[in-house]
Amino acid sequence: MPNMSRRPFLQLALGAATLPVASRGTRAETLARPITMIVPFAAGGPTDVLARILTEYMRNSLGHPVIIENVTGASGTVAGLRASRAAPDGTTITIGHWGTHCLNGAIYQLQYDVREFAPIALLASGPQLIIGRPDLPAKNLKELIAWLKTNGDKATAGTAGPGSGAHVAGVFFQQLTATHFSFVPYRGAGPALNDLMAGHIDIMFDQASNSLPQVKSGTVKAFAVTASSRLASAPEIPTVDEAGLLGLYIAYWHGIWAPKGTGPDIVSTLSKAVMSALAEPVVRQRFAELGQEIPSPDKQTPAALRDHQAAEVEKWWPIVKSANIKAE
Ligand code: MLT
């Protein structure tokens, strides 16, 4: 039982030690303690890459590093549970996306609510690429669909986990093209892409930020981008509409959250740190090279992320539920 009568004194004493600059109105109470950012997928994958670019620059305003911890498994739900149970004191935050903070709520029976986190900032969004192993005989999307129709019994698509965005996009693709193939779940799109390059699986519906470098170097084949316009950083890849598959649009947005109950001062400090990292020219350039579109500052705020997530939940949960996509 803590000695309650000593608490105010202890808090004052600790406050003096750990919150030296809060009163200067710049760096608040998160400053003096290490921050861990949970990345819900394997190292080297798209979410991990964005997290590492961002945290490198968040340290400028926070004054110390943000440590990345990859907590993988079950399409980000292992990390989601862990992040939801972390202390709401600014020491643990999580990066997530359309899959972890929208789809998972419709697909998994979770012990937390994907909408319960304290939003920090909306980062960026980018489409997927429909890609194949380098020696796949198909030269374009129509040939890929024809190949899948005759090889469906053995064709495989790598995903970032059961019910992940890659899996969901693959199910929509199957429905639109009347094809069938098996899904192979990984602990993230990074390891799945490695297996695609090695020819162990045939195709992926992959975030462009993950596969663009490999497409450029010719180690995977790109058939289409899941958007209505081509990517500025890869204008040679046709849109799904141009490639003959009307309307398979998938926009993967990323955000940062803290556990629910995190106080407004901490949220504000973290949000400012993310937003100033997103304003860095180097960060903007690296995100753009990865096909990521950063929203304007007024659309990066905690309120903007909360509204965006709510709108995505409203849009996608009925679609995913009626498509009967299961986490299996
Ligand atoms: C990853 O980092 O592995 C991805 O964000 C997974 C995904 O595409 O959902």
140 burial type by CB count under 10 A (0-12 exposed, 13-18 middle, 19+ buried): middle
**CATH number of the domain enclosing 132:** 3.40.190.10
Measure 45 CA to ligand 1 centroid, in angstroms: 6
Q: Report pLDDT for 33.
A: 76
240 neighbors 141 (Cβ within 8 angstroms): yes
207 neighbors 46 (Cβ within 8 angstroms): yes
Q: Report pLDDT for 28.
A: 47
The reply to whether 327 falls in a domain is: no
For 38, the 3-state DSSP assignment is strand
Run of H or E residues at 125: strand 118-132
Q: Report pLDDT for 113.
A: 98
Measure 181 CA to ligand 1 centroid, in angstroms: 20
Per the structure, the complete domain to which residue 91 belongs is given by 4-126+253-322
* Rounded Cα gap, residues 160 and 118, in angstroms: 25
Q: Which residue has the tokens 């890849």?
A: 237
Q: Report pLDDT for 20.
A: 30
Closest CA to 198 of 181, 182, 214, 174: 214
β-strand pairing of 221-225 with 118-132: antiparallel
- Tell me which residue has its CA closest to atom 3 in ligand 1: 188
Supply the pTM of this predicted model: 0.89
Closest CA to 203 of 147, 242, 265, 126: 147
CA of 190, closest atom in ligand 1: 3
**Would you give the DSSP letter of residue 130?**
E
Q: Report pLDDT for 13.
A: 29
**Would you give the DSSP letter of residue 207?**
E
**CATH number of the domain enclosing 118:** 3.40.190.150
Q: Single out the residue in 243, 275, 291 at which a domain terminates.
A: 243
Q: Are residues 99 and 197 in the same domain?
A: no
The reply to whether 44 falls in a domain is: yes
Q: Give pLDDT tens digits along the chain (328 positions).
A: 333 333 332 232 223 223 233 333 344 444 557 899 999 999 999 999 999 999 999 999 998 899 999 999 999 999 999 999 999 999 999 999 999 999 999 999 999 999 999 999 999 999 999 999 999 999 999 999 999 999 989 999 999 999 999 999 999 999 999 999 999 999 999 999 999 999 999 999 999 999 999 999 999 999 999 999 999 999 999 999 999 999 999 999 999 999 999 999 999 999 999 999 999 999 999 999 999 999 999 999 999 999 999 999 999 999 999 988 888 6
Angle in degrees, CA 81, 84, 86, rounded to 5: 110
Q: Report pLDDT for 32.
A: 59
Angle in degrees, CA 94, 50, 54, rounded to 5: 75
The verdict on the CB of residue 189 being under 6 Å from ligand 1 is yes
Q: Euclidean distance between the first and final Cα of the chain, in Å?
A: 45
72 burial type by CB count under 10 A (0-12 exposed, 13-18 middle, 19+ buried): buried
Q: Are residues 81 and 158 in the same domain?
A: no
The reply to whether 248 falls in a domain is: no
Measure 241 CA to ligand 1 centroid, in angstroms: 24
The verdict on the CB of residue 47 being under 6 Å from ligand 1 is yes
DSSP character string of 219-247 = SSEEEEESSSS-BTTBTTSPBHHHHT-TT
The verdict on the CB of residue 40 being under 6 Å from ligand 1 is no
Amino acid at 181: F
Measure 14 CA to ligand 1 centroid, in angstroms: 39
Q: Report pLDDT for 276.
A: 97
